[in-house]
Structure 1
Amino acid sequence: MKNGRLILMCISLAIGTCGGPLLARLYYNNGGSRIWLTSFLATAGCPIILIPLSFLFLRRRLSNRNNDEANAEKTKIFLMKTPLFIASIVIGLLTGLVNYLYVYGLKLLPVSTSSLIIGAQLAFNAIFAYFMVKQKFTHFSINAVILLTIATGVLALHSDADRPANVSHREYVIGFIMTLVSAVLYAFLLPLVELTYKKARQEITFTLVLEMQMVMCVAASCFCVVGMLVNGDFKVIPREAREFKIGGAMFYYTLIVITGIIWQAAFLGHMGVVFCSSALASGVLISVLLPVTEVLAVVCFREKFQVEKGVSLLLSLWGFVSYFYGEFKSGKRILGSSQPLLETELPPLPVTDSVG
């Protein structure tokens, strides 16, 4: 059961991580310019989480028909207690800030460049995971982190050779910095989520993970809505929709809805992989998907692919191979859980070893 859920989370992560940046670039390339709106879309698809939550609630009600106190606790609409609720709000607000920084950089950078910069998150993820959740490392995982960090440095050396025509040198540098800062902050958020799971004063179940995701996304969306109000986005959106270069207003609003759903898939994948495995595993998977996103960006938007990007890509792939080979050689499953989390609504899950 756990392996199947982990596979589903990985697929969700892959769809969202690859599709989200491409849809955002499609928006920007065809007349879209609202950064706060794009940030909002990164978490605005959270209402779809109500679908699995409703299903799991009905499942609990049907499987707990007795009126004893234990079953009454399980049949509550929401299982989250106050400390976890507050922690989810704080993480959600930080997520809103990360989303804003990321899409700000994405507006000024090619998707392929932005994706490679995000590769830096793995190095910081490893550092934060080591200090926050006592993540164990092997020589191979350390080698992977070093290679991925160098890959990002090589990318920075090519300066603004791939700078879009309508972006100045100063804007390009700002976009690079914004994207890098967002990568660092997000690398901090993943171990923070894992630490929250570990420190929670209640049993962490998949239902609870979905509830946390809902609260985080609502908090992040509210953060972005405030930015939209201050920036006047709601007044500009109807005009932007009418003037959208492809498909007009109908395509514009359809793109917004689909973008929100795709980003929500990425968020679910991030949270799910941390739940089923670890923060480092989630960070590695994000990095593994970078070459895919980069190739898709070059194919879809005909972005430039300079020598420096090729070197950076090769170093990234080398880092990925190093990490996975190290896990294979150590005889451990690549995505093993550092501390198994129990699931009350579903059958018991097998215990697995820690990552690295």
Structure 2
Amino acid sequence: MEEAQQKLLDIPNEEIFEKENHNIESSGSTHCTTKHKWWYQVAIFTLLTLIGEVITSLLVSIYFTKGGKSIWLISFVQNLGFPTLLPFLFYASLNNSNNNNNNSNSQIEVIKDNQEPHICIIFLVYVVLGVLLGGVSVFDSIGLKYLQVSTYSLINTSRLGFTVVFSFSFFLDGRKLITPSIVNSVVLVTVASVILVLHNNESGEKSGGKFLLGFFSAVGGSTTYSLVLSLTEFSYRKILKGRKFIDIIEMSIYQTLVASMVILLGLFISGDWKNLIMEMEKYQLGKVYYAVILLFIAISCQLNVVASIWLVFKVNPLLSNVLNNLGALITPIFGVIFLNDKIKGLKLVVMFLAIWGFASQIYQQYLNYMEENEEIEQNSRDICEVSHN
């Protein structure tokens, strides 16, 4: 025994330091790999967000311009795509069950299970978020019915300012959100929205009450959408406390399920359902295109919901809204190509201001990323100093 202890004492300090340094390097390498994986995931879900945002806006606008009239129907369709997520929920449930079985004896799992909220609280969270999401769909449908898709998309950039306000209100690192870059972005977007209201007749926009109804509906949709993102983050930080893939799928399904039920109720109460068959028969593009447009609206909108919730979970609601704003900036370009929208004069100024505001947000995200890397590097240096001492 003494010989063994002596051999341990005879190990040079350099070897100990090498082993410690190797462990630190391995930890750093693991962090880099994880960080790269995180960026790949952000890129993928950003792409899905943009696709969902652009396609949904264009198709809803096409629905109205080619003879569609039902706001309730198009709002319902925007939330009807949740069954497409059921296979993913089943797959995620199997993986989650296997992980729980492998860790069945873990004390950590037992503690976590004891901290799970009551089913009534979970139900209430999904109902509140679902009702709000249904409101977003109705507001957006009204906005796209009475506005050009380019105008509607530029108004949607106001989501950013509302997200900052709600994030600050719910204490979701709100104080960190109030930076010069973000304030600059919010001011620019606000000025752009005011210009759109004051000069709405320039590009052949609908005038009078219809334009104002569309404008304030688009603003209402932006406000409610920002509230949904902030409440989603708040719910998963303070109440549900879940960050797994299955949590994202469940949130997407239950939110849109509740929203679909609320809007379906509105569809029947309003009596719009009586005119749907006649609307489909008289649709300018024909019955087949009518059904195809509704189908792809459902799919694209669901892509946007899932991707946005994932970005809220993995980053924050502000970045999720920033990326949605990018989609709002891209949409007018496609509106010009496919819908013959006109972008000229002051609307070009508005687009420039919106792009400037988006660039300010991207710059702030870059600063946050660099600050985080500096903190990680400083922690690594501190560990090295402690190990050598």
Structure 2 CA distance, aligned partners of 1:80 and 1:204?
Answer: 18
Does 1:25 pair with 2:61? yes
Q: Please report how far the alpha carbon of residue 142 of structure 1 lies from its aligned counterpart in structure 2 after TM superposition.
A: 1.8
Ranges in structure 2 where 5+ consecutive residues have no aligned partner: 1-36, 374-389
Q: Please report how far the alpha carbon of residue 64 of structure 1 lies from its aligned counterpart in structure 2 after TM superposition.
A: 5.0
Equivalent pair of 1:110/1:303 in contact (CA under 8 Å):
yes
The residue aligned with 2:338 is: 300
Q: Which amino acid aligns with 1:294?
A: P
Deviations 1:86-124 (A, max 9, x none): 211111101111211111111010000000111111111
Instruction: Report the TM-score when normalising by structure 2.
Output: 0.78
The residue aligned with 1:237 is: 276
Deviations 1:57-112 (A, max 9, x none): 222344555694778999xxxx9944223211111101111211111111010000
Percent sequence identity is 27
Q: Where do 1:5-44 residues align within 5 Å?
A: 5-44=41-80
Give the counterpart of 1:125 among 152, 163, 184.
Answer: 163
Does 1:174 pair with 2:213? yes
Equivalent pair of 1:115/1:290 in contact (CA under 8 Å):
yes
Change (3 A) 1:129 1:202: closer
The residue aligned with 2:7 is: none
Structure 2 CA distance, aligned partners of 1:208 and 1:327?
Answer: 25
Q: Where do 1:1-356 residues align within 5 Å?
A: 1-63=37-99, 65=101, 68=104, 81-132=119-170, 133-135=172-174, 136-137=176-177, 138-164=179-205, 167=206, 169-246=208-285, 248-329=286-367, 331-332=369-370
Residues 201-210 or 86-95, more deviating: 201-210
Q: Which amino acid aligns with 1:320?
A: F
Structure 2 CA distance, aligned partners of 1:69 and 1:251?
Answer: 55
Change (3 A) 1:66 1:186: closer
Structure 1 CA distance, aligned partners of 2:297 and 2:67?
Answer: 16
What is the CA RMSD across the aligned residues, in angstroms? 2.6
Ranges in structure 1 where 5+ consecutive residues have no aligned partner: 337-356
Which structure's CA Rg is the greater one? 2
Structure 2 CA distance, aligned partners of 1:331 and 1:322?
Answer: 14
Structure 2 CA distance, aligned partners of 1:176 and 1:169?
Answer: 11
Equivalent pair of 1:102/1:182 in contact (CA under 8 Å):
yes
Deviations 1:248-273 (A, max 9, x none): 21221121111100111111121111
Residues 101-110 or 53-62, more deviating: 53-62
Q: Please report how far the alpha carbon of residue 17 of structure 1 lies from its aligned counterpart in structure 2 after TM superposition.
A: 0.7
**Number of paired residues?**
330
Deviations 1:262-316 (A, max 9, x none): 1111111211110111011111111122221011111111112131110011111
Structure 2 CA distance, aligned partners of 1:295 and 1:51?
Answer: 35
Residues 91-100 or 236-245, more deviating: 236-245
What secondary structure is seen at the aligned counterpart in 1 of 2:370?
A: coil
Q: Which amino acid aligns with 1:40?
A: F
Residues 218-227 or 198-207, more deviating: 198-207
Equivalent pair of 2:61/2:145 in contact (CA under 8 Å):
yes
Structure 2 CA distance, aligned partners of 1:18 and 1:333?
Answer: 32
Equivalent pair of 1:144/1:318 in contact (CA under 8 Å):
yes
